Structure 1
């Protein structure tokens, strides 16, 4: 047997080009004493990625979530209603709550206080079915101990029994820091406890006051140098938690990077507080920014299943036992006129960004239920034999999906995917029953909303099918090669995507000049007459039925909405060329609204531009040589130019030409200032913040008049009345 094994090793070693003799010598020395056994928290420090994912800012934030979630679990259990988070200037963070406080008595099996057990022992805590918690986010009993292991210093204070208890740790080991200098720091002298740990009593508390306060400094030996706590991410998580736990208040203080006076006192800081009573219905309203098709519908239910899990018996042995589980399902859904989908899922208030069994059950049942309702109304909706797909139903949907159950099975400590298989069927049954009842409701208001919803999903289906057909049939052709393009399109001759440009031109008068000014090899022209449809208010069907909108979508050739395919776009640049007046700005805004709502990838790719035509033409007189022409693009720029000319005693022709429209330029002037690549100026339309941009479009172009009126009134003082054509 030994000879066979030796030959096999030799064959492998020859294939890998290694030395057999050397490896053979090492093999004989390899025994049990070469095996490493990591005890306590050493395993966490050796392999931190296994517990927190990464050691960059994401891992740093995950540690903070672990501490915060423990406080939230107390609130979920009905103990405490406030959590306070402070980001200190020295890089540490404090999380305090008003829960019951970590137990301070002795745990009989280890002989340690409850505080030390929670902070130093992996897989230890009150969330293993002992009855202290019913549905929680922390399940594996490693959260607090992992944070402790990865901290250069951690201080925990527990208020229980009218006393304040304290214990400190350095890289997971309990001991005492010498803070006699008055400054708390992980660099202060530290003394390990030798014979026994000590939970100090450092003060008294009012009767009935309880809570836990943890402050820790992340270990620079573990985390990357540029890892930092992200304030915006923390705010989003705190707001989301406050929505999910109605009545829970969460306060955030940020003391980093702020100004201090000569004594070191903080003179500037950020503080935000979140507390909501509306639950996930209010959460959905916060997430949704488009105009509503339906109200926020609440789908709630529950179900049970049996799970076989190891349970401690009276003798302390793990015995496989069939345990009944109850699953609570609470879902809020709302459809809007847009096509973006915003769905957030949670298990016991822990976000599951990658979904899991609860999201699978939700999406499958949602499609099944809506498809059944569409089939029942197929004649009225003129559906034919086409079938809805998931994307049709999800278009414009904003939803929050939450489930609560004891001991859910997650895939890994980061809890991004729920794995408990029985949850899928329970969620699916709840959606089918509750949503089915709403879709078949006889109440007038709900019936109207259901009709609008069914019309929307059918319109999305028809748009998808139309776009797919168009994509299959449409190829990069010029107007001469294909009669499917609008007749008023003046296409370019070359098909080079990098150089091709589509100019959307306002009005017929400007179109005549633009035809003479363009480079017909690479520049295409498409005229629009007047102001196009405001698609922020209109439905998908109305948009597709509008001649100007549908023609523009056809010209660009990449579809619309969810089916938009950026690679199929026929032009490398789309340039909006409108007059430099209020009407031109309005037309440009309407066009940008169309691009933003239905061709957003084109904007995100930076391929939408606005031309910048000049406002004035100043001809400077030179003696003995040709006059010089200077274009200005604003009143301020003109004023500066004229002032400079007066100062240098240079003459210019009067009156100064003021362009009120593109049609007032001749072809050479338009080419020189607006169309010729080497001479013109373009403004790229970007998507720096999609949600902020969507809110702006909703304000300026949406159906709600009151916010827009308030915006106009509040900004009236900043308006230059001379810019209004009246």
Structure 2
């Protein structure tokens, strides 16, 4: 280390060296996320061509050797010489940062690849990249090794590579049919750059392709995965319904409204630096047009699903367009609630953003030339003027919907206002309840249900709440529990199916309300995991079909209104035994009691005893319910930590789990019938408790 610091310590990175030196600046990271970002940079260029009206078919191939290939049938990358650099258009696109056809207004009115660094960054971070272009009746080709043009002796990245020394050459490798144009890009990611565990995730690629097909109606995107030794997996995506179909796809709950479409546009001026022929950058004022297209619908749930896009590029962290959407939504709905205050009985209370967003599914898209993003990964839109344009379009279109005299519109807007106000009242009620609990001290009486048999411990992490089916099982469980840390809450049979019921019906149901009250953390959007009174919630139902149904109804309640408990791994299902086998011992030796938990386990035990010449008492006891056990048996098999078995309830993919709950427990009968018929072939008859 030295204190000296002079000009010779400065390092100037030329060309693509900067990308290889600091890849995170361009692709976000060097793990799987960055690897996928490279694919999307290439795909987005093909999609931009489709948006401009050239080519509607894109094919993505994941090859077995780890390479990725993207094919399109668009105009093809220009192959003529770019006058300033003296290089072919292909070489300019793949070797020069900030070079592309999307800076001016001649080629694209709106596009995703805006910075001109996408293809060149992918090239810089690839061990090998091959590009073929069909254009002008010929097939042109060029290869690169870590961004440097040249020729490979073979077809793999390990083949010997000869870089061009004096001048590069765009080779003609074949003939293209008349009128046929397109581009094929195949590259091998450089493992010197990316981490060892970085992989191309097929599921992420399919999700992005599906999303793009929704956003660009009429485009077909085909993904072919050839990496496995089995047959290649091919999936194709094409949707002609646009973002309305996208919103319907994303929504999992029954609708309060239909899917509404809000469309409009606005203009704004901005000052941008324009490069003059003299080489000087001159600030110039230009007029831009911003097109806004929104598809939204409200459902009976409380989750918010929002997808926002700029020129079909996803902006997961929002930006000015999302701020404008929320501002326009707030303006209209607050005005409507104020106008209908007497009917809705809102008093002086004001709705907030969370009340409006509850149950909302929205796809927000804007299209404009040269948007300003925060960073190359394009996750946040920064163009300031877009906020006011989106807010204005949303407010105007939504106000027209509320002013409509059509019967369907009037009925749906009335239901929407009722939902928003009910969300507001639930939020205020939850806040009041929380404040009441905070003010209470140890000397005041508890408001918990009388049927709760609470534990003595105040240690939340160590405490357990058993939700017990029926009063008969409660009596046994009282004697079997450890009263220091185990609490009991009995329920009467099958509770309300909350997947079909409204929030109001759920809260007015005695059993559901008792469970929420006892856990003490609220419900829905206001659920506070840190306020939960118990470390574990254990569902203890009979080991029969009715018990399984009760457990499913309880899980539906927890997933829909107390999901953080499941995500934190704090919900369990008890596993009571099905059989009690008393093995007889000769002489004065006491008999041995063995419990089994399935028919298969019982038959295996009996076969093992028979081979050993052991006998057992007949008849073997078959437990039909928890109430048939005495306290010692229930404690030893189901409640005592030393001998029990618990099944942790988890939902690693919340979106898929929500779809399963809606399929099995929702209002739509036809999909459930189809599922049962299709799944009947996989039924294991021995598992039926008959």
1:130 Cα offset (Å): 4.0
User: How many aligned positions are there?
Assistant: 688
Secondary structure of the structure 1 residue equivalent to 2:390: helix
Q: Label 1:483 to 1:497 Cα distance change in 2 as closer, same or farther (>3 A).
A: closer
- Provide Cα deviations, 1:6-34, integer angstroms capped at 9, x if missing partner: xxxxxxxxxxxx9xxx63xx35xx34x44
Q: Which residue of 2 aligns with 1:123?
A: 98
Aligned partner of 1:677 among 641, 651, 671: 641
- Offset of 1:314 from its aligned partner? 5.6
Three-state SS of the structure 2 residue aligned to 1:369 is helix
Is 2:158 aligned against 1:193? no
Alpha-carbon distance in structure 1 between the residues aligned to 2:582 and 2:372: 77
Residue 220, structure 1, aligned to residue 191, structure 2: yes
CA distance in 1, matches of 2:658, 2:141: 49
Which residue of structure 1 lines up, in the alignment, with residue 620 of structure 2? 656
* Aligned equivalents of 1:86, 1:397: Cα separation in 2: 36
Tell whether 2:313 aligns with 1:336.
no
Output one character per residue of 1:309-354: Cα deviation in whole Å (capped at 9) or x when no partner.
Answer: 1224465643221111000000111111111111011000111111
Conservation of the 8 A alpha-carbon contact between 1:479 and 1:489: no
Q: Could you report, residue by residue, the CA deviation over 1:40-93 in whole angstroms, capped at 9, with x for unpaired residues?
A: 222222222221121222221111111111111100100000111111122211
Tell me by how many angstroms 1:486 deviates: 0.8
Out of 381, 386, 389, the residue aligned to residue 423 of structure 1 is 386
Q: Give the corresponding residue for 2:30.
A: 55
Query: C-alpha displacement at 1:277, in angstroms?
Result: 0.5
The whole-number CA distance in structure 2 between the counterparts of 1:498 and 1:239 is: 43
Q: How far apart, CA to CA, are the structure 1 residues paired with 2:143 and 2:572?
A: 59
C-alpha distance after superposition, 1:642-691 (max 9, x if no partner): 22222222121111111111111111111111111111111111112211
Q: Does 1:233 align with 2:190?
A: no
Q: Give the secondary structure class of the aligned counterpart of 1:399.
A: strand
Deviations along 1:562-607, one digit per CA (max 9) or x if unpaired, are 1100000001111111111111111111111000000000011111
Which residue of structure 1 aligns with residue 41 of structure 2? 66
Match of 1:559 among 492, 507, 522: 522
Work out the CA distance in 1 between the residues paired with 2:481 and 2:158: 70
User: Is residue 165 from structure 1 mapped to residue 129 from structure 2 by the alignment?
Assistant: no
Aligned partners of 1:437, 1:130: CA distance in 2, in Å? 34
Which structure 1 residue ranges, 5 or more long, are not aligned? 1-17, 260-266
- Deviation per CA, 1:81-119, whole angstroms, max 9, x where unpaired? 011111112221111111100111111111111111111
Distance 2:319 2:503 in 1: 31
- Structure 2 counterpart of 1:393: 356
Aligned to 1:6: none
Aligned residue in 2 for 1:380: 343
Q: Is the 8 A contact 1:287 1:398 kept in 2?
A: yes
- Are the counterparts in 2 of residues 478 and 491 from structure 1 also a CA contact under 8 Å? no
1:705 aligns with 669
**Structure 2 equivalent of residue 38 of structure 1:** 13
Partner of 2:150: 175
Equivalent residue of 1:134, what SS?
coil
Structure 2 residue 82 is the aligned partner of structure 1 residue 107: yes
- Offset, 1:482: 3.0
TM-score (norm. length: structure 1): 0.92
Name the counterpart of 1:7. Answer: none
Aligned to 2:68: 93
After superposition, the Cα gap between the structure-2 partners of 1:493 and 1:443, relative to the gap in structure 1 and judged at 3 Å, is same
Find the counterpart in structure 1 of residue 559 from structure 2.
Answer: 596
Of 643, 665, 688, the match for 2:607: 643
Deviation at 1:35, TM superposition (A): 3.4
Do the aligned partners of residues 580 and 326 (structure 1) sit closer, same or farther apart at CA in structure 2, a change above 3 Å counting?
same
1:556 Cα deviation from its structure 2 partner: 0.4
Residue 8 of structure 1 aligns with which residue? none
Which of 117, 121, 129 is residue 142 of structure 1 equivalent to? 117
- Once the two structures are TM-superposed, the CA of residue 229 in structure 1 deviates from its matched residue by 1.4
User: Shift of the alpha carbon at 1:476?
Assistant: 11
Aligned to 1:464: 427
| 1:411-490 mapped onto 2 (5 Å cutoff) | 411-474=374-437, 482-490=445-453
Deviations along 1:410-433, one digit per CA (max 9) or x if unpaired, are: 011111110000000000011101
Unaligned runs of 5+ in 2: none
1:494–1:146: structure 2 CA closer, same or farther, 3 Å change rule? same
SS of the residue corresponding to residue 403 of structure 1 reads strand
> What aligned pairs does 1:343-358 form with structure 2 within 5 A after superposition?
343-358=306-321
Q: Distance in 2 between matches of 1:143 and 1:292?
A: 40
Find the aligned partners of 1:104 and 1:618 in 2 and give their Cα distance: 82
- 1-structure distance, mates of 2:507, 2:442: 21
Offset at residue 479 of structure 1 (A): 11
Give the stretch that moved more between structures: 314-323 or 422-431.
314-323
Q: Does 1:245 align with 2:216?
A: yes
What is the match of residue 470 of structure 2? 507
Contact 1:137 1:349 in 2 (8 A): yes
SS in 2 for 1:84: strand
State the partner residue of 2:571: 608
> 2:593 matched to which residue of 1?
629
Q: Secondary structure at the match of 1:498?
A: helix
- The alignment status of 1:548 with 2:519, answered yes or no, reads no
Q: Greater Rg, structure 1 or structure 2?
A: 1
Q: Provide the residue aligned with 2:480 in structure 1.
A: 517
The offset of 1:524, in angstroms, is 0.9
CA distance in structure 2 between the aligned counterparts of 1:73 and 1:714, rounded to whole angstroms: 40
Q: CA deviation at 1:247?
A: 0.7
Aligned Cα root-mean-square deviation (Å): 1.9
Cα deviation for residue 722 of structure 1 reads 9.1
What is the alpha-carbon distance in structure 2 between the residues aligned to residue 36 and residue 637 of structure 1?
A: 71
Other-structure match for 1:575? 538
2:659 is matched with 695
For residue 274 of structure 1, what is the aligned residue in structure 2? 237
CA contact (8 A) 1:456 1:540 kept: no
* TM-score under structure 2 length normalisation: 0.97
Shift of 1:406: 0.2
Aligned: 1:403 with 2:366: yes
Distance (Å, rounded) in 1 between the aligned partners of 2:658 and 2:171: 54
Q: Which moved more, 1:642-651 or 1:385-394?
A: 642-651
CA distance in 2, matches of 1:475, 1:157: 69
Cα displacement (A) at 1:246: 0.7
Structure 1 pair 722–331 and aligned structure 2 pair: CA distance change class (3 A): closer
Specify the alignment match of 2:181 in structure 1: 210
Q: Quote the Cα distance in structure 2 between the aligned partners of 1:689 and 1:46.
A: 36
